[in-house]
């Protein structure tokens, strides 16, 4: 099946474009499954739409704009792993259940999981399975073989848990195949976190511009004050540059973990900048819990920590550059 980015974007806007921020979790999850978002990256021979990284980018920008709760990214990571397990007899049934909305989750922390522990796992308390990724084995562990503990945090748009594994689960890949699959999962996680961040930054900036256009001081809108226009222009410039890099990476077929990590770090940095500026430009109301500005900042801070923070990816990028120069 072929869909353009514009068509996927239109579907995302119709789903959440006009909704309140941080919509009801159960309703939004049912809507995501009903619209087929969970089958976007699944090959057509397995009942999916066979769309690529670009479609995932559109979806996660839409999720970020509306601060949609739920394990959308974790579900997609699990489906990505299942699609690669062509030896697994239960593969098609599990993928069908996942596309229909049965929660199957994975860690968003980044990198490889521990031998028997995972952290930052969305909605683990309602999941039927948890994905476990190590350097020599990728497994899908049923809920009966895990113990979960709620992980409190600022960002209430995601419910994260720590998970302890109490059984081996189903083996999806081993050895070299597991390492290759782990890289694919990491690449998708980093790319989608970047998309979520850029979508949130876009929404926060649009909300700020709308406020400046309506709020008046000295009988004229704040948007006409040159100093404020310059601050908005700076935000737009940085967001546009990061967005251009994001869609450039969406076109690349190969899995370049360092490049995607740097992209994610940039997107999260821009998101936090825009969210902090949004609070400042809203004035006193922006500092209150009643106004949604704080929701964007909290999500920006969590996205920055998930998948490795900016310091981690700065170091990895520098090491890669030095290694390339030494060849």
pLDDT band at 2 (very low <50, low <70, confident <90, very high): low
Q: Is the pLDDT of residue 201 over 90?
A: yes
The per-residue pLDDT for range 45-82, each reduced to its tens digit, is 988 888 888 889 999 999 999 999 999 999 999 999 99
Q: Of residues 246 and 156, which shows the higher confidence score?
A: 246
Q: Is the pLDDT of residue 4 over 70?
A: no
Q: Of residues 316 and 24, which shows the higher confidence score?
A: 316
Per-residue pLDDT, 18 = 52
CATH code, 241: 1.20.140.10
Per-residue pLDDT, 223 = 82
Count of residues for the chain? Answer: 327
Per-residue pLDDT, 35 = 87
Per-residue three-class SS string for the chain: CCCCHHHHHHHHHHHHCCCCCCCCHHHHHHHHHHCCHHHCCCCHHHCCCCCCHHHHHHHHHHHHHHCCCCCHHHHHHHHHHHHHCCCCCCHHHHHHHHHCCCCEECCCCCCCCCCCEEEEEECCCCCCEEEEECCCEEEEEEHHHEEEEEECCCCCCCCEEEEEECCCCEEEEEHHHHHHHHHHHHHHHHHHHHHHHHHHHHHHHHHHHHHHHHCEECCEEHHHCHHHHHHHHHHHHHHHHHHHHHHHHHCCCCCCHHHHHHHHHHHHHHHHHHHHHHHHHCHHHHHCCCCCHHHHHHHHHHHHHCCCCHHHHHHHHHHHHHHHHHC
Per-residue pLDDT, 119 = 95
Q: Is the pLDDT of residue 255 over 80?
A: no
Per-residue pLDDT, 219 = 81
Q: Is the pLDDT of residue 204 over 80?
A: yes
Per-residue pLDDT, 207 = 95
Per-residue pLDDT, 13 = 73
Domain contains 26: no
Mean pLDDT of 282-295: 90
Q: Of residues 19 and 306, which shows the higher confidence score?
A: 306
pTM: 0.94
In the chain, the number of structural domains is 1
Domain contains 224: yes
Q: Which residues fall within 8 angstroms of residue 316, CB to CB, at 6 or more apart?
A: 258, 261, 262, 308
Domain contains 281: yes
Domain contains 248: yes
Out of 101-110, 124-133, 250-259, pick the least confident.
250-259
- Distances 210 to 112, 124, 206, 213, 273 between C-alpha atoms, Å: 42, 38, 6, 5, 18
- Count CA atoms within 13 Å of residue 64 on its CB side: 34
Domain contains 173: no
Q: What is the rounded average pLDDT for all residues in the chain?
A: 91
Q: Classify strands 170-174 and 160-165 as parallel, antiparallel or unpaired.
A: unpaired
Domain contains 144: no
Domain span at 207: 180-326
The per-residue pLDDT for range 111-130, each reduced to its tens digit, is 889 889 999 999 999 999 99
Per-residue pLDDT, 1 = 52
Domain contains 109: no
Mean pLDDT of 273-300: 93
The per-residue pLDDT for range 211-242, each reduced to its tens digit, is 999 987 888 888 888 899 999 999 999 999 99
Per-residue pLDDT, 195 = 97
The per-residue pLDDT for range 12-22, each reduced to its tens digit, is 777 776 557 77
Domain contains 45: no
* Residue pair 153/137 in contact by the 8 Å Cβ criterion: no
């Amino acid at each position: 099946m072929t869909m353009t980015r514009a068509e996927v974007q239109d579907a995302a806007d119709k789903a959440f474009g006009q909704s309140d921020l941080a919509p009801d979790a159960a309703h939004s999850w049912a809507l995501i499954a009903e619209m087929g978002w969970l089958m976007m990256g699944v090959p057509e021979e397995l009942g999916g739409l066979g769309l690529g990284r670009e479609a995932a980018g559109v979806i996660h920008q839409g999720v970020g704009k509306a601060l949609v709760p739920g394990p959308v990214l974790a579900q997609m990571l699990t489906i990505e792993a299942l699609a690669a397990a062509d030896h697994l007899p239960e593969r098609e049934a599990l993928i069908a259940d996942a596309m229909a909305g049965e929660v199957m989750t994975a860690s968003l922390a980044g990198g490889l999981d521990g031998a028997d522990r995972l952290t930052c796992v969305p909605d683990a308390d309602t999941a039927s399975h948890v994905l476990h990724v190590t350097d020599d084995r990728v497994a899908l562990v049923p809920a009966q073989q895990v113990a979960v503990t709620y992980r409190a945090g600022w960002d209430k748009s995601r419910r994260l848990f720590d998970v302890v594994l109490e059984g081996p689960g189903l083996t999806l890949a081993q050895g070299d195949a597991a390492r290759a699959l782990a890289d694919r999962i990491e690449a998708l996680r980093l790319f989608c976190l970047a998309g979520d961040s850029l979508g949130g930054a876009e929404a926060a900036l649009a909300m700020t511009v709308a406020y400046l256009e309506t709020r008046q001081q000295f009988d004229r809108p704040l948007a006409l004050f040159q100093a404020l226009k310059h601050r908005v222009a700076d935000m737009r410039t940085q967001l546009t540059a990061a967005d251009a890099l994001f869609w450039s990476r969406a076109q690349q077929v190969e899995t370049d973990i360092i490049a995607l990590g740097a992209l994610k770090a940039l997107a999260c940095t821009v998101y936090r900048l825009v969210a902090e500026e949004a609070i400042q430009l809203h004035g006193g109301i922006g500092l209150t819990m009643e106004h949604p500005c704080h929701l964007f900042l909290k999500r920006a801070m969590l996205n920055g920590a998930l998948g490795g923070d900016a310091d981690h990816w700065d170091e990895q990028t520098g090491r890669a550059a030095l290694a390339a120069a030494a060849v």
